[in-house]
Amino acid sequence: MPDIVLRSNDGADHKISASTARLSRTVASLLQDLEASKGEDAELLIVPIPNVCNCTLKKVLDFCEQQRAFDDLVRASPAAQQPEVTRKTQAWRETYMKVSTDELYHLVMAAHYLDVPGLLGLCTDAMADHIRGKSPSQVRACFGLKPNLSPEEEDDIRRSNLWALS
């Protein structure tokens, strides 16, 4: 099995295991192409990740490493210990997601581009927290959007959803 290196868009290299790399569907697909073009004897596969900076890529790979470790632990643990493993996983994820909103934005974009389902789920949960319970104007402020519905459209929405908007 060749060494796998992911190269961020600012040129930083991260050496990772194949099992960790394949947690990203995008990387898994790129690896397939590389393996096909370089042959099975290649000793090193460098995968450029053009849309992700070093700092964010490192954070994504932290998640993938941890995810792989937890998956291994779940497989190796007897059923009685599964709740404890799950609890530890959740605790780790809560700590992991304590990021600034700016980091969260870069992380969700990276998770989306790299197609890491577990991380995408975590990030979209966190993003949804920014929306929950907020008024339309608060959401607009949060998303940097300008109101562009006509008064008639707004009226129509309000009339159709009186039960929820009153």
Partner 1 sequence: MELNSLAVLPDDLLCHIIAKTTLHDKIRLQLVSKKFRALLMMPPSGEGLWGQCDLSAVFSGFMVNGNDYWKYPQKFIEAGVRRWLVRRVPHMTRICCDTDTDEAAWVLCGLLPCSAPSSCCTARRASSPMLPCAASGRACQTASQS
Among 21, 128, 152, 159, binds partner 1 (CB under 8 A): 128
Among 147, 151, 152, 159, binds partner 1 (CB under 8 A): 147
DSSP H or E stretch at residue 49: none
Place of tokens 């596969």: 45
The distance of closest approach from Cβ of residue 73 to partner 1 in the complex, given in angstroms and rounded to an integer, is: 24
Strand, helix or coil at 10?
coil
| 72 near partner 1, rule: CB under 8 A | no
Distances (CA, A) of 155 to 28, 59, 115, 136, 158: 48, 44, 39, 14, 5
CA torsion 101-107-112-117 (nearest 10°) is -110
| 140 near partner 1, rule: CB under 8 A | yes
| 154 near partner 1, rule: CB under 8 A | yes
| 158 near partner 1, rule: CB under 8 A | yes
Per the DSSP assignment, residues forming a β-bridge with 6 are 14, 47
Residues forming contacts to partner 1 in the complex (CB under 8 A) are 100-102, 104-105, 108-109, 112, 120, 124-125, 127-128, 130-136, 139-140, 142-149, 153-154, 157-158, 160-161, 163-165
